[in-house]
Amino acid sequence: MFGFLLPLPWLGERAARIAIAALTAYAVLPILRNTYAGIKGIDPALQEVANALGMTGMQRLRKIELPLSSSFILAGIRTATVTCVGIATIAAAVGAGGLGEFIFRGVASVDNRLVLAGAVPAALLALGADFSLGLLERALRVPGRR
């Protein structure tokens, strides 16, 4: 993805723009896929009840579908976050900086300590983000739903 974005004149001028665009593109798919699966997995009887109560489509989405599918949506956000933390280290290859610079410098100079100086914090950041979003997912879970 980074290689495809480099030649674009309005984007390829700054490495940070390339990194942000690529990471956003990588994050969109798991979030959208899980959101779609969560909303489609809701019992149709609940949707019929919402319609019978006279709810509009937006009210049904906000009051029934999103709360019931929140665990799916947060699972997609967790997946996207962990993936983006890992992929962000590769952004150093296009000059975007970050922990990937330590990894690339360490590989180039065959210095395992330098590789670990970039890889260990990146792994800890991914694990910390996953753990934190897992706690948020449990806190937002609808009671009585498994």
A 10 A CB-CB count for 33 gives 14
> Residue 11: what pLDDT?
61
Distances (CA, A) of 122 to 16, 87, 89: 18, 10, 8
Q: What angle do CA 86, 89, 90 make, to 5 degrees?
A: 105
Q: What is the pLDDT along the chain (146 residues), one digit of tens a residue?
A: 777 677 666 665 677 778 888 889 999 999 999 999 999 999 999 989 999 999 998 999 999 998 888 889 999 999 999 999 988 888 888 777 788 889 989 999 999 999 999 999 999 999 999 999 989 888 877 676 55
From CA 32, how far away is CA 15, in angstroms rounded? Answer: 26
Query: What is the sign, positive or negative, of the torsion defined by CA atoms of 108, 114, 115, 118?
Result: negative
